[in-house]
Structure 1
Amino acid sequence: MLYRNLCLFLGYLTFFNLKNLLQACLIGLLFLTGCSTTSDVNKPYYKPFSSPVPGQVFIPSGTFSLGSSAEPDVLEQFSQSKKISVAAFFIDQTEVSNDDYREFINWVRDSIAITNFLEKKDQYMVKKKPSDPAGTLEQINWRIVGNGRTIWGKASRKRNPRLDEMFYKQDHLFNKKGDLDTRILKYSFGIFDYEEAFRNRNNLAKTQSDYTYRDTINVYPDTTVWIKDFANLANDQMLKSYFSDPAFGKYPVVGITWKQAKAYTIWKTNMLNNKTRGLSTTRKTVTVRLPSEAEWEYASRGGEDGMNYPWGNALHGEKDCLMANFKVAPGNYVADGGLFTKPVRAYKANKYGVYNTAGNVAEWTENLYTSSPQGITGDLNPRLLGVNDNARRVVKGGSWRDAAYFIRSASRTFEHQDTARSYIGFRTVMSAPVEQSIKK
C-alpha cells in the first residue's frame, strides 16, 4: 500500500512539472512572437487614468512633430517643425464654459461680501482651534457658504444692509440700477518664477517672495469685446447677453485675458485641494494650470501626427458635414451651423476625447510667444515661461472668425496677456504622476 501511494505521488509530481514546463514554453513563445523588435519588449502597458479634476481626460506620454502639417506652409512662422516628446497629462475635454467661469465669479463675489460687507461673518468662517486661536489663518468655510443663497436671500439682505454697496445705485454705462457692480470683483494671486529662482540660486540674500509675481486683477469678463473687436457691427445683443444669460451657459467663456485665465487656474487649484484634503490644508495635491504650447498641440492632434486637423485632413466628415466652427468663406460664418461661438461640446471629439481644439474659440497657452520657439526650446516637455507684464502669449486653435488655415493644429498666433478678445478662451491641464505609463 505504501509503495502504491509513493508511485502515485511521483506520477503526479512528474505531471505537474511537465505541465509547468509546457506553460513556461507557451509564455516564452508568446514573448518571442508578440514583439517584432527588441524595443517593443520594453514598451510599458498603456491604459487610461482618471483625473482628480472633473471633466478632464488622460493624455499619454508620446512623441510627435510640433508644428507639422500635411501640406507645406506659406507663412514662415508656421513652417518650422520639430520632433519632441511630451510627458503624460490630463486636459479639459472642453473649453472652460460660461457656467464654469461663473463659479469663479460667484466665489469672488461671496468672498468680498463675507469679508467686507456682512455684519456677522463668523458663521461663515472656519472655527479657530481653541489651543491656538491667534495662530489659525482666517479662512472662509465654503461648505457652509454653499451656493451663496444664505448670503443673498431676502432675510440676509435685510440683516446686512451694507450688501447694497455691492450693487449699482443708478443706471450705469452698460448696467442698470440694482446690477452687481462688477468693478469690485478683484482677485489677488501670486506666481512663483521657478526659472528665475534657479538662475539666482546662489544669491542667498533673496527669498521666495523675491521670485513671486503678485497681482490683483478684476476677474469679470470684458463683455465689451463684442463691440471692440468689430467695427460697425450690430453686436450689442451679444454684449448684453453672452455671459449673463443662462442660455449661453454651455458656451465657451470669452473676453478673458491671459491673466484672468491664470487666476482661474490658481483658484481652481485651491478649491480642489481644499475639497480633497480639508479646509485648512496648505499642502497641494492637485495643480491646475494652462497648457504649454506643446501639450495643447499634442492633445489637439489626438494621436494623428502630421495631420492638418484633429480628425484628419478633410474639413468635411460624414454626410459632408463640416467638422468645426470657423469662417468657411469670405462673409460666410454660418455654413458650419454657427454664427458666433457654439456650445463647448459641439462637433465631434478627437480620439483622445477632446472637443473643439479646432475653431470655436482660440485658446490661451502658458507659453511666451516667439516667432521661432523650436530654436530656443528643447525636445523634451518644451515650454517658454515668464511673468513679464508686457508679454505676448501663444494662442492656439483658431476660432469662429478664422479661416480654415488658422484652425489647423500646427497654426499659432499670439495676443498680449492683458488683452481680452471675443474669440479667445481657454482650457486647463494637470500633469500626470511620473509613474503613469506612456502611449503603447
Structure 2
Amino acid sequence: MSMGFVLLLGSCGKSGTKGELVGAQGKKWYPEKPYGMELIPRGSFIMGKTEEDQAQVLNAPTKTVTVTSFYMDDTEITNSEYRQFVEWVKDSITRTKLAILADELGLGPEDGGIGDYAFKDADTTKMSEYDKYMMDNYGGGGPLGYEGRALNKDEKLIWDTSEFPDEYYVEVMDKLYIPEEEAYNGQRTIDVTQLIYKYSWMDIDAAARSKTGSRKDFIKQTELPIYPDTTVWIKDFEYSYNEPMHNDYFWHDAYSEYPVVGVTWDQATAFCNWRTKLKNDDQKSRGKQPVNKFRLPTEAEWEYAARGGIEGGMYPWGGPYVISDTGCYMANFKPQRGDYAADAALYTVEAKSYEPNDFNLYNMAGNVSEWTSSSYDPSTYDFVSTMNPNGGDSGNARRVIRGGSWKDVAYFLQVSTRDYEYRDSARSYIGFRTVQDYMGEEDSTD
C-alpha cells in the first residue's frame, strides 16, 4: 500500500514538471501604470545644497545617493480627489449606522425601509462556508460587536429628507448632522467630526529590528477624523480677510482642481492607506493580484523627482532664475516684496498650472509645500544611507515638507531647500502627493 502511494506521487510529479525545478506557479503579473502618475526612473543624484546656502541653515550638505524607480502623482492631490476619500468615509459610516440600527430592530430587506440597509450577512444563505467561518470567529469582539460584518453597498443612500423611507432612517440621518441650534441661514450640514477613518497597519521597521515579540505586537490601529481643517485660512494669518477661502475652498466645485490643504501628515497618510484599499478592492473583484501600497514620498525621492533629471539644477526647471525668457514667472510663490499677484495668482492655483518639469510633474516648486514621509533632523544627511535614504524616526513629530508654497519667497522653491512642520499640524499652504513603488510594466507584446 505504501509503495503504491509513493509511485503515485512520483508519476504525478513527472507529468507536471518532468522532475525539473520550475518554481511554484502563480498568477501572471499584469502591472498597470497607476492613473494620474508618472514613472520616475531609478538613478543617482547629488542630494543637498550644491548651490549657495543663502539662509545658512547648514542642514543639507551634499551627498550622492541612489533611489529606485517609483511612480509619483503628476500633480498635488486635489480637493476633488480628497473629497472622494471624504465621501467614501461618509458613505461607509452612514451605512454602518443604518445597518446597526436595522440589526438592533431585527429588520431585514424583506421589511423594507431601513431594513434595506441591513448587514449583508444577515442572510447567511448567500454566504460561502468560508465567509460564515470568518463571521462566526472574527465578526465581533469590537466595542460595538459589529466589526468585520459586510455592509450592503448595493442599496443607494437617500439624502433628500423628503424621501426618507421611515422614522428609523430619519433617526440615523438626524444624528449625522450638526445640531439644529448650530445651524444658520437654513443650512444644516454634516457633522464632519464624525467622519472617522479607521485602519490597521504594521510597523515593519520595528518588527524587523525586534528580537522578541510576535507579529501581532507590531500591528497598529489608527483612527482619526479626516475632514480638512478649513479654518487654516483664517488661523494662519492675523489681520487678513480670508473668509471666502475658509467658506468655499474645499467643497465648492470652483476649486475642485486646486490642491487640497488643511490636511495633517497623519491625514495624508490615512489617505494613502484608503487609496491602496480602494485600488486593491477593485483588483480583488477582478481576480487580480494586489498592487503595492500608495504612500508619501521619502525626502530623497521627492528631491530626485523635483530635479527632473537636471544635474545641479536650482529649481525643477533648472534655473537659476524664476522668470522665463518671455518675462513670466515659472511658479506660484511670493515674488519680490510681497507682490503675491505678480505671478498671476494670489493664493493657490489649479494643480496642473505652469510648465511641468522633465519628469512631467507639475508644481514641484510653489503652489503648496508637500508632506514627505521623512522625519526632520538637521543632521539627517550625515547618517542616512546612500541607497534609498530616509530619515524615518517614529518618535520625531517633525516631518519634512518640500517645494515651497504660494506664500513663500523663492528660496523655499529650490529643490534642495529643507523645511518641516509638525505631523499633527494643518496649514493653508501644505498639501501632498503620493508615490507607489515600481513593479514592472505590462508587456505590450503579450
- Note whether the superposition's TM-score is higher than 0.5: yes
| 2:236 paired with 1:226 | no
Superposed counterparts of 1:77-156, under 5 Å: 77-118=58-99, 119-120=114-115, 122=117, 125=120, 129-132=127-130, 133-136=132-135, 137-140=148-151, 144=154, 150-153=157-160
1:431 maps to amino acid: D
SS at match of 1:120: helix
Gaps of 5+ in 2: 1-29, 100-113, 136-147
Aligned to 1:208: 215
Query: Whole-Å Cα distance in 2 between the matches of residues 80 and 214 of structure 1?
Result: 37
- Contact 2:59–2:379 (CA under 8 A) maintained in structure 1: no
1:352 maps to amino acid: F
Query: Whole-Å Cα distance in 1 between the matches of residues 134 and 31 of structure 2?
Result: 37
SS at match of 1:320: coil
1:165 maps to amino acid: K
SS at match of 2:424: coil
Query: 420, 423, 429: which is aligned to 1:417?
Result: 423
Aligned to 1:408: 414
Which has more radius of gyration? Answer: 1
Aligned to 1:385: 392
Please list the CA deviations of residues 131-174 of structure 1 after superposition, one character each: whole Å capped at 9, or x if unmatched. 242425423465x36xxx54435576344212121112325389
| 2:246 paired with 1:239 | yes
2:150 maps to amino acid: Q
| 2:426 paired with 1:430 | no
- Contact 1:188–1:216 (CA under 8 A) maintained in structure 2: yes
Query: 247, 263, 276: which is aligned to 1:269?
Result: 276
- Contact 2:322–2:330 (CA under 8 A) maintained in structure 1: yes
Aligned to 1:35: none
Query: Whole-Å Cα distance in 2 between the matches of residues 333 and 295 of structure 1?
Result: 30
- Contact 2:95–2:152 (CA under 8 A) maintained in structure 1: no
Query: Whole-Å Cα distance in 2 between the matches of residues 197 and 318 of structure 1?
Result: 53
Aligned to 2:369: 362
Please list the CA deviations of residues 254-288 of structure 1 after superposition, one character each: whole Å capped at 9, or x if unmatched. 0000000000000000010001122899x742310
| 2:336 paired with 1:307 | no
**Structure 1 residue 223, shift from structure 2 partner:** 0.4
1:219 maps to amino acid: I
Q: Judging changes above 3 Å, is the alpha-carbon distance between structure 1 residues 366 and 79 closer, same or farther for their aligned structure 2 residues?
A: closer
Bigger drift between 245-254 and 65-74 goes to 65-74
Aligned to 2:338: 331
Bigger drift between 334-343 and 212-221 goes to 212-221
Query: Whole-Å Cα distance in 1 between the matches of residues 173 and 63 of structure 2?
Result: 56
Query: Whole-Å Cα distance in 1 between the matches of residues 203 and 338 of structure 2?
Result: 44
Aligned to 1:43: none
1:77 maps to amino acid: L
Aligned to 2:200: 190
Q: Judging changes above 3 Å, is the alpha-carbon distance between structure 1 residues 336 and 284 closer, same or farther for their aligned structure 2 residues?
A: same
Q: Judging changes above 3 Å, is the alpha-carbon distance between structure 1 residues 87 and 176 closer, same or farther for their aligned structure 2 residues?
A: farther
SS at match of 2:295: coil
1:413 maps to amino acid: D
Gaps of 5+ in 1: 1-48
**Structure 1 residue 77, shift from structure 2 partner:** 3.1
- Contact 1:193–1:387 (CA under 8 A) maintained in structure 2: no
Please list the CA deviations of residues 374-402 of structure 1 after superposition, one character each: whole Å capped at 9, or x if unmatched. 112110001122433x6110000000000
Bigger drift between 299-308 and 262-271 goes to 299-308
Q: Judging changes above 3 Å, is the alpha-carbon distance between structure 1 residues 242 and 195 closer, same or farther for their aligned structure 2 residues?
A: same
Q: Judging changes above 3 Å, is the alpha-carbon distance between structure 1 residues 368 and 72 closer, same or farther for their aligned structure 2 residues?
A: closer
Give the TM-score normalised by structure 2: 0.79
Q: Judging changes above 3 Å, is the alpha-carbon distance between structure 1 residues 280 and 189 closer, same or farther for their aligned structure 2 residues?
A: farther
**Structure 1 residue 78, shift from structure 2 partner:** 4.5
Query: Whole-Å Cα distance in 2 between the matches of residues 340 and 167 of structure 1?
Result: 31
- Contact 1:366–1:393 (CA under 8 A) maintained in structure 2: yes
| 2:302 paired with 1:296 | yes
Query: Whole-Å Cα distance in 2 between the matches of residues 96 and 88 of structure 1?
Result: 21
Aligned to 1:250: 257
Q: Kindly report the root-mean-square deviation, in angstroms, between the aligned alpha carbons of the 2 structures.
A: 2.6
Query: Whole-Å Cα distance in 2 between the matches of residues 312 and 174 of structure 1?
Result: 51
2:431 maps to amino acid: G
| 2:182 paired with 1:172 | yes
**Structure 1 residue 233, shift from structure 2 partner:** 0.8
Query: Whole-Å Cα distance in 1 between the matches of residues 161 and 325 of structure 2?
Result: 53
**Structure 1 residue 123, shift from structure 2 partner:** 6.5
Query: Whole-Å Cα distance in 1 between the matches of residues 379 and 183 of structure 2?
Result: 43
Bigger drift between 67-76 and 341-350 goes to 67-76
- Contact 2:232–2:428 (CA under 8 A) maintained in structure 1: yes
**Structure 1 residue 177, shift from structure 2 partner:** 4.3
SS at match of 2:115: coil
